[in-house]
Amino acid sequence: MGNEPLLSFSVTAFDLANQAMLVLSAELKMLLREEGVLKAFSF
């Protein structure tokens, strides 16, 4: 019973982190698409 709030918070935090990763991934893909040539030679 005492773990319910913590579990709920953990799930929420995980959802937020997952959402953030999706957003960052989308941003990264956009950048790579726009600067694909530059990125390819900037290693």
Residue 2's pLDDT is 59
pLDDT tens figures, 22-38: 999 999 888 888 777 66
- Contacts of range 37-43, beta carbons closer than 8 Å, 24 or more positions apart: none
Neighbouring C-alpha atoms within 13 Å toward the C-beta of 7? 4
Cα-based distances in Å from 43 to 17, 27, 37: 28, 20, 11
Tokens of 13: 């935090």
Tokens of 30: 């956009």
Mean pLDDT (the chain, rounded)? 80
- Under a CB-based contact definition with an 8 Å cutoff, are residues 32 and 39 in contact? yes
Domain ranges of the chain: 19-43
